[in-house]
Amino acid sequence: MRAWALWRRLDAPGHDACRLDDDGTGWRLHGTAVYGDNGVPARLDYEVACSDTWVTRDGRVRGWLGARAVELAIRRSPAGAWTLNGVAVPGLDECVDLDLGFTPATNALQIRRVALGKGQAMDVPVAWLDVAESTLTLLRQRYERRSETTYWYQAPRFDYAALLEVTPAGFVRLYPGLWELEPER
């Protein structure tokens, strides 16, 4: 399987393009986000590798936020321990997924891993990367599948809840107030 997406940011200037590939041993998501962050331009290339069951193995983000260079490497050991640039990050043992806070792309990995049936819900704690702060922290979120193409999503830490529309590949088509897929032409 190969899938791709091109999003337009709704809350600030920006775009994100990504592709999801089967790499023979699992899944690889790679893309680039270009956006404005509080008046500062940003360009970030990212990659996340998952097992064949969508469990995060590692991730990488490279690029820049204004004048600051960004080079972040995230790893999850098979035992569930997380590191950021080789330094252990405690408190993430319950996390299976990496969520890159600047892109909607990583939601697809979570949606595919939990594979909810219509009417099912699940709490999905993730290791959330804040690129501006260079931190990896626990983000509690919840998905509830409402239909073949919609999920009720909640992230209480950000006081955010909305109905996400998704594509058959699991990419978010509409992330209300934040992102929207560009129409195909």
Q: List the pLDDT tens digit at each of the 185 positions of the chain.
A: 789 999 999 999 999 999 999 989 999 999 999 999 888 999 999 999 999 999 999 999 999 999 999 999 999 999 999 999 999 999 999 999 999 999 999 999 999 999 999 999 999 999 999 999 999 999 999 999 999 999 999 999 999 999 999 999 999 999 999 999 998 76
Non-local CB neighbours of 84 within 8 Å, separated by 6+ positions: 72, 73, 74, 129, 134, 135, 136
Position of tokens 């043992």?
93
Percentages (nearest 5) of helix, strand, coil residues in the chain: 5, 60, 35
Distance between CA atoms of 60 and 145, rounded to whole angstroms? 29
pLDDT of residue 142: 98
Beta bridge partners of 5: 18
- Residue 43 buriedness (CB in 10 A; 0-12 / 13-18 / 19+): middle
Q: Distance between CA atoms of 3 and 16, rounded to whole angstroms?
A: 14
Instruction: Note the pLDDT of residue 185.
Output: 62
Residue 159's pLDDT is 97
Residues in the chain: 185
Residue 38's pLDDT is: 84
How far apart, in whole angstroms, are the C-alpha atoms of residue 33 and residue 18?
A: 8
Amino acid 39: pLDDT: 87
The CA distance from 64 to 111, in Å, is: 28
